[in-house]
Amino acid sequence: MTALLAQASADSRRLLAKEPAAEDKSNSCCQDLAAIGFSSNLPVVVLDTGGKNITNKGGDVKVRACTCSDGAGFKEYNGTGVASVHGSSSALFDKKSFTLRLTHKNGTKNSASFLGMPKGNEWVLYGGDEVDLTDGMRDYVAYNLARASGEYATRTVWIEVFLVVEGRPIAPSDYHGIYIGEEHIGRGKDRVNVTKWTTADPSGGYIFAFDNNNYGPTDLLTATLPGYDFPFVIKYPKSKVPSENKLASSWLSTYLLDFNTAILADDYLTASPGYTQYIEAPTFIDYFLLTEVTKNPDGYRDSIYMHKDAGKGIAMGPAWDFNEAFGECCGYPLEGYKQGGKSGPGIAGGGSISPNGWRFLVCEDPERCIVEPTDGVSTWFRRMWNDTRFSVAAAERWAELRADAWSDDAISSLINSTAIHPAVTRDYKVYSKVLLKSWYASTEAQWTAEVQDLETWLMQRLGWLDAEFSLVASGKYVYPTSDLILVPAGENFPTIATASLAG
């Protein structure tokens, strides 16, 4: 079992032109912001649409994009791009998030460093949402926890955004709020590092997701697995050649079916080689622990990314979408949010937003999952939990993380060292109708209290999980509905080291 733990964060006129111009090496973005009297302790991103609307879902808009990270030491971006509204339900909010794809002046794809992050073409400007009153802190903390465990997760930079949509010079009224600049999930040596997919070896690489019903007619899909309500969405590869897409979908569909069949088989604990031949085991453990510590309501049923390299098994991650995590909201199942989430401990040990209880077992209480009892891929983890190789390995990995990267001190420092408050005050002023709550005395009091609530909930969550994993490690844990089913003695959960990407 010890081996398992050997793995694992132009000038201002061109900027304001109605048609995007060539990339500019000057610092005109900072000059324009200074001209209107704006300064920030955070990097600033300015998007100018040349008079076009970008606040509605659907459609790409050409933009001039520039950054001003005065004093942060970032290489500035001052060029062109294509922007669109990002997200599904969040696209309906007053404060939109945006996807930004960088382009050269001729409109071709541009891969460049952005906000100090490694080169890439596609970026997300995440604005939080109207549910999470911490202005995105939940996503920030979760991604940092994932990277601290040694798994890749999108890098994050707190920023402020100006959105110029009226075809005129930038003005203070164009201030759009505090955001988090994030890497978009994609293939690359600094992102999801899988090999280029080819027809010669269709075993990889793949990036795919289970995203519930959030897919459209242009998406490349797998076949729907037995017992599932929706297919998986293939994010990479996506070819312009129909036959290649057909091959990729067919190959991955078969592989997923084989894995799903193996883990649902009656003899899944004793079959040799069994279900573990289809997966990169350590990534399943780390994903499980992150989903449980955050108690992400979407962690098993929505926005679940996976990847598969050529000749290797399915790997969980990168982690994505934590706006409703850390006890914030119901997400799914809705039934667990009744009476403030106090729906009784049940089999899971606690409701959807309680710091007590297992997230992966929530749907073991059928009344909590009336609408969609499948609960995405949680079935996989419920089966693995009955495999003592998995549960004991998870307990050992938990102890390792809690002793270092996920210690109380490390997590408290992560939350309390985030210096974004002046920007939060400006953000609350812009979105006061949807963000400000009457029971707080001031914006400062509200944000401080919301962040403290997040930290308090997380510390309680850590304590509950410490107790549970201690029982698992000591052999005293009893599964809520039955004793753990033992596997042949001497077998360990497979160990395949995962690459660690710092930053």
Q: Mind listing the pLDDT tens digit for each residue in 106-125?
A: 999 999 999 999 999 999 99
pLDDT in tens, 296-338: 989 999 999 999 999 999 999 999 999 989 988 764 455 554 5
Q: Is the residue at 168 inside a domain?
A: yes
Q: Is the residue at 194 inside a domain?
A: no
Q: Is the residue at 440 inside a domain?
A: no
Q: 246 and 146 in one domain? A: no
Quote the pLDDT of residue 355. 86
459 pLDDT above the threshold of 90: yes
163 pLDDT above the threshold of 70: yes
221, containing H or E segment: strand 220-221
pLDDT in tens, 176-195: 999 999 999 999 999 999 99
Selection from 301, 276, 278, 281 nearest residue 291 by Cα: 301
23 pLDDT above the threshold of 90: no
User: Of 12-26, 202-216, 312-326, 458-472, where does mean pLDDT reach its minimum?
Assistant: 12-26
Percentage of the chain exceeding pLDDT 90: 66
Quote the pLDDT of residue 376. 94
Segment 467-481 shows an average pLDDT of 82
Domain end, chosen from 148, 183, 218, is at 183
Q: 280 and 380 in one domain? A: yes
Residue 331 is encoded by which pair of tokens? 């997400």
Q: 374 and 253 in one domain? A: yes
Q: 226 and 170 in one domain? A: no
pLDDT band at 1 (very low <50, low <70, confident <90, very high): very low
Q: 170 and 223 in one domain? A: no
Separation between Cα atoms, residue 496 and residue 444, nearest integer Å: 46
Separation between Cα atoms, residue 31 and residue 11, nearest integer Å: 9
Q: 220 and 157 in one domain? A: no
Those residues with Cβ within 8 angstroms of residue 361's Cβ, 6 or more apart along the chain or in another chain: 347, 348, 349, 378, 382, 385, 480
Q: Is the residue at 135 inside a domain?
A: yes
Q: 245 and 174 in one domain? A: no
> Which amino acid type is present at position 482?
S
Q: 325 and 222 in one domain? A: yes
User: Of 28-32, 134-138, 297-301, 333-337, where does mean pLDDT reach its minimum?
Assistant: 333-337
pLDDT greater at residue 163 or residue 350: 163
Quote the pLDDT of residue 344. 66
pLDDT in tens, 168-177: 999 999 999 9
Quote the pLDDT of residue 88. 66
pLDDT in tens, 251-271: 999 999 999 999 999 999 999
User: Of 150-164, 359-373, 408-422, where does mean pLDDT reach its minimum?
Assistant: 359-373
Separation between Cα atoms, residue 181 and residue 179, nearest integer Å: 6
Quote the pLDDT of residue 501. 27
Selection from 361, 369, 379, 389 nearest residue 260 by Cα: 379
pLDDT greater at residue 74 or residue 337: 74
Residue 413 is encoded by which pair of tokens? 């420092």
Q: 224 and 148 in one domain? A: no
Prior bond to 273 cis, omega within 30? yes
Domain that holds residue 275: 206-404+464-474
Selection from 86, 84, 186, 100 nearest residue 128 by Cα: 86
Percentage of the chain exceeding pLDDT 70: 85
Q: Is the residue at 71 inside a domain?
A: yes
How does the average pLDDT of the chain come out, rounded? Answer: 86
Quote the pLDDT of residue 503. 31
Separation between Cα atoms, residue 242 and residue 247, nearest integer Å: 9
Quote the pLDDT of residue 370. 77
Dihedral class, residue 63 (left if φ above 0, else alpha if ψ from -120 to 50, else beta): beta
**Euclidean distance between the first and the last CA atom of the chain, given in angstroms as a whole number:** 28
Which contacts of 235-239 are long-range, i.e. CB under 8 A and separated by 24 or more positions? 235/185, 235/186, 235/207, 235/208, 235/209, 235/305, 236/186, 236/187, 236/192, 236/194, 236/197, 236/205, 236/206, 236/207, 236/208, 237/197, 237/205, 237/206
Selection from 42, 39, 38 nearest residue 72 by Cα: 42
Q: 140 and 107 in one domain? A: yes
